[in-house]
Amino acid sequence: MLPSPLFHLAFPVSDLEATERWYVQGLGCRRGRRSAEALVLELGGHQLVAHLERVLPPAQKGIYPRHFGLVFATPQELNALERRAHEQGLRQGCEPRWRFPGTPLEHRSVFLIDPSGNWLEFKHYVNPEAITGLEDHQQVGERGGNQ
């Protein structure tokens, strides 16, 4: 039986073959169904669907406004993903870094860019409550700062 619910994300790509190589061989996703227009992938137990688009949205210069990824439960999981990305030669969006250091929101992020220009963020929070809680804090992202 599957855990309930699972997250689903559909995103645009310009090349299904390059997308499959990057996500399956590079990132380690499991490949699901594939048609001439779309590819189903499993990332961290969740469903991604890459949809072939002839015209992609404009390229981003940083992580905003669009990105997706995983929040890891342990720093070791993030470190393993970072090592795999390096070994597979996956393109980094920027240097891995600590965000909001010394605060309850402190976390380490690794940013990757797939062959179609989609940004992915993989992270681990020092304080697990910061993942979806800590409502009294006003910091969300670093849009005005270093992206």
The answer to whether 29 and 81 are in contact (CB under 8 A) is no
> Which tokens in the block code for residue 100?
């909001």
- For residue 107, give its domain range: 8-54+62-131
pLDDT computed for residue 101 by the predictor: 94
What tens-digit pLDDT sequence spans the chain (147 residues)?
Answer: 666 899 999 999 999 999 999 999 999 999 999 999 999 999 999 999 999 998 888 888 888 889 999 999 999 999 999 999 999 999 999 999 999 999 999 999 999 999 999 999 999 999 999 988 877 887 777 765 444
Dihedral sign from CA coordinates of 20, 22, 24, 27: negative
pLDDT computed for residue 146 by the predictor: 44
Whether residue 92 is contained in a domain is answered as yes
Whether residue 144 is contained in a domain is answered as no
Q: How far apart are CA 61 and CA 119, in angstroms?
A: 10
* 3 state DSSP class of 145: coil
Q: Dump pLDDT digits (tens) for 8-43.
A: 999 999 999 999 999 999 999 999 999 999 999 999
Whether residue 70 is contained in a domain is answered as yes
CATH code (residue 71): 3.10.180.10
Whether residue 16 is contained in a domain is answered as yes
Paired residues of 30 in beta bridges: 42
Whether residue 102 is contained in a domain is answered as yes
pLDDT computed for residue 1 by the predictor: 64
The count of domains in the chain is 1
Q: How far apart are CA 63 and CA 24, in angstroms?
A: 22
pLDDT computed for residue 37 by the predictor: 97
Whether residue 147 is contained in a domain is answered as no
Whether residue 143 is contained in a domain is answered as no
Whether residue 137 is contained in a domain is answered as no
- How much is the pTM? 0.90
